[in-house]
Chain A
Amino acid sequence: MGEKLLMKGNEAIAEAAIRSGCKLFFGYPITPQTELAEYMAKQMPKRGGLSLQAESEVAAINMVLGAASTGARVITSSSSPGISLKSEGISYIIGSDLPCVIVNVQRGGPGLGGIQPAQSDYNQATKALGHGDGHAIVLAPNSVQEIATLVGEAFDLADIYRMPCMILADGALGQMMEPVDFEAKPAREIPEKDWACCGHGGKRVHNIVNSLYIEPEKLEEIVNERFERYRKLEENEVKYEEYLTEDADIILVSYGITARIAKTAVRNARKMGIKAGLFRPITLYPFPKKQLMALAEKTNCFLSVEMNMGQMVNDVKLAIECKKPVYHYGRTGGMIPSPEEILQKIQEYSGGNA
């Protein structure tokens, strides 16, 4: 255990990135994520790194594409509208098989939307961060402490699977302050980056990083190979947390900050004699399908609680092949559900008993 510090979620993402050996930050300010960029601007020069405020989100993500091509650990961050701007660059990074970390501290949308917390970019993050057949790993921490370990994990996973990894947070998590201990997370073996364009010194054939393929046959082969990696990712890297699911009649499915609100609601439901439980996906892509399917055998129904109009709820239905009813409760536009509201839904869907 190291010494605990009190940090905002945004600051903790930045600090954890620096501690994970990330020396490059390219970004553009946007509420509610700006503390991350500010932290990088203050800390990177003191710690042998570079923090650069690009002229736009589009420029920043293309700087990430360039830096990642050299094999360097690199991060960018933004909030919802800024992520949409990065979309093209992210697709190029996916198409070039490059590792990097992208942070989305979500705010209300669509459009310019608002600056209050939201989870309405779930579909974008897990289904279509950019055009084309492809994915990014999506990790959803639920506390400042979990940020400290998952940011390091994000860099490792990105390097191991050669793909971008998104930290999907929200304004509440970015802005709230909690104690955090940056103790070293278990070290993982990172494969050598023999693909990197970092100078061949005349000693090897030069590497090419590219997402353009002339022959459709070749492009199909490359995409197939990539999807084989996604399959391995799903087999080996799914992360989730279960709370009181063993005997639960109703299981809430919730991630990030909303999962903590849902947990309070579950605890209060138990006090009233309702057997409620909570399943918290930590990897949103890959989604913990098998684990949910196993729970579908035991429970009566699921309640997906999200700060959106119903996005993850569809993944829950797919995961359990609609074996049990799956309900949704959400607030949107920057509104945060309260434990009381969620408890009311638990009562409603568990048959109104107690």
Chain B
Amino acid sequence: MNSLFELATEKVTVISGPYGSGKTNVAVNLAMDIAKNNTVCRVADLDIVNPYFRSADNEGMLADLGVQTLIPEFANTNVDIPALPKNYQLLFNGEGKSVADVGGDADGAAVLGLSHDDYINSGYKMYFVYNRYRYVTADPMGALEVLEGIQRASGLTFHGIINNSNLGEETTAETVINAIPYATEFAQMANLPLLLTTSPDWVEVPNTVKIKDITKKLF
């Protein structure tokens, strides 16, 4: 695939995977790409695990692009409870396309199990975000365990792998290139297609999909 937009073939695109693999970055970039393709779109922050650094941080920027953000009422406040956006049913019955940004691991994916039937009935594609440089997924077996755990917790099945291997701001072309064989091996083990490899917009790597780093900057 040459763009994130091509992932959004169904009503709901679920971005799931291990904790810290870059799901929010992929989900927000995907929503931006859908909006650029003149399709009505919303992204739902379904992260019930992380207290900060979440898609809710990008509400303003997304609104400028015409993307609606479904945010848990208490995101980025001091209320430390796993809550869902009160309007999250729009994921299934809103106009156009929806992107679900799910919390990490099987714990985060429990939120998908809750609405299992809605995903099936409205039509979904679920993608696994892989980062070879995270400690759990540095080993493909570790990544596979997380993948199976998410499928068990959600009752949904993955349709492909997004290779989002990165080292944050220190990502170089080499970082991206060196991870591709690992992503390929993992996709084979998981018996899923490796759909695309991302690269941050400051590096040049052929055959990758460029994405913006939308992580909130403190300094």
Give chain A's interface residues, CB within 8 Å of chain B. Answer: 4-8, 11, 15, 31-32, 108, 113-116, 171-172, 175-179, 257, 260-261, 263-264, 334, 336, 339
B135 to chain A: which residues have CB within 8 Å?
5, 7, 11, 15
Specify the chain B residue showing the minimal Cβ separation from A262. B219
B76 to chain A: which residues have CB within 8 Å?
116
**Could you tell me which residues of chain B, from 120 to 158, have a CB within 8 Å of some CB in chain A?**
131, 133-135, 138
**Could you tell me which residues of chain B, from 140 to 179, have a CB within 8 Å of some CB in chain A?**
166-170
Give chain B's interface residues, CB within 8 Å of chain A. Answer: 20, 50-53, 76-78, 80, 131, 133-135, 138, 166-170, 218-219
Q: Do the beta carbons of B51 and A177 come within 8 Å of each other?
A: no
Q: Do the beta carbons of B20 and A179 come within 8 Å of each other?
A: no
Q: Do the beta carbons of A113 and B20 come within 8 Å of each other?
A: no
Q: Do the beta carbons of B50 and A178 come within 8 Å of each other?
A: no
Specify the chain B residue showing the minimal Cβ separation from A342. B219
- Rounded to whole angstroms, the CA-CA distance of A32 and B131 in the bound complex is 23
Shortest beta-carbon distance from B175 to chain A in Å:
8
Cβ-closest 3 pairs across A and B: A114-B78, A179-B167, A261-B219
A175 to chain B: which residues have CB within 8 Å?
50-53
Q: Do the beta carbons of A339 and B131 come within 8 Å of each other?
A: no
Q: Do the beta carbons of B170 and A5 come within 8 Å of each other?
A: no
Check A6/B78 contact, CB under 8 A, given A260-B218, A261-B218, A264-B219.
no
- Rounded to whole angstroms, the CA-CA distance of A53 and B170 in the bound complex is 35
A5 to chain B: which residues have CB within 8 Å?
133-135, 138
B80, B138, B170: residue with the most chain A Cβ atoms closer than 10 Å: B80
Q: Do the beta carbons of B133 and A4 come within 8 Å of each other?
A: yes
A6, A172, A261, A263: residue with the most chain B Cβ atoms closer than 10 Å: A6
Shortest beta-carbon distance from A31 to chain B in Å:
5
Q: What total of A-B pairs shows CB separation below 8 Å?
A: 66
Shortest beta-carbon distance from B39 to chain A in Å:
31
8 CB contacts below 8 A, A to B, read A6-B133, A7-B20, A116-B78, A171-B52, A175-B53, A177-B168, A264-B219, A336-B218
- Rounded to whole angstroms, the CA-CA distance of A260 and B133 in the bound complex is 24
A11 to chain B: which residues have CB within 8 Å?
135
Check A31/B168 contact, CB under 8 A, given A6-B133, A260-B218.
no
A32 to chain B: which residues have CB within 8 Å?
51-52
Q: Do the beta carbons of B53 and A31 come within 8 Å of each other?
A: no
Shortest beta-carbon distance from A44 to chain B in Å:
14
Q: Do the beta carbons of B134 and A6 come within 8 Å of each other?
A: yes
Specify the chain B residue showing the minimal Cβ separation from A11. B135
A177 to chain B: which residues have CB within 8 Å?
20, 53, 168
Q: Do the beta carbons of B219 and A31 come within 8 Å of each other?
A: no
Q: Do the beta carbons of A334 and B78 come within 8 Å of each other?
A: yes
A116 to chain B: which residues have CB within 8 Å?
51-52, 76, 78
B168 to chain A: which residues have CB within 8 Å?
6, 177-179
Other than the given A6-B131, A6-B167, A176-B218, 10 more pairs (CB < 8 A) read A5-B135, A7-B135, A11-B135, A108-B78, A116-B51, A177-B20, A177-B168, A179-B170, A334-B78, A339-B219
B50 to chain A: which residues have CB within 8 Å?
175
- Rounded to whole angstroms, the CA-CA distance of A336 and B36 in the bound complex is 33
Check A115/B80 contact, CB under 8 A, given A260-B218, A261-B219, A264-B219.
yes
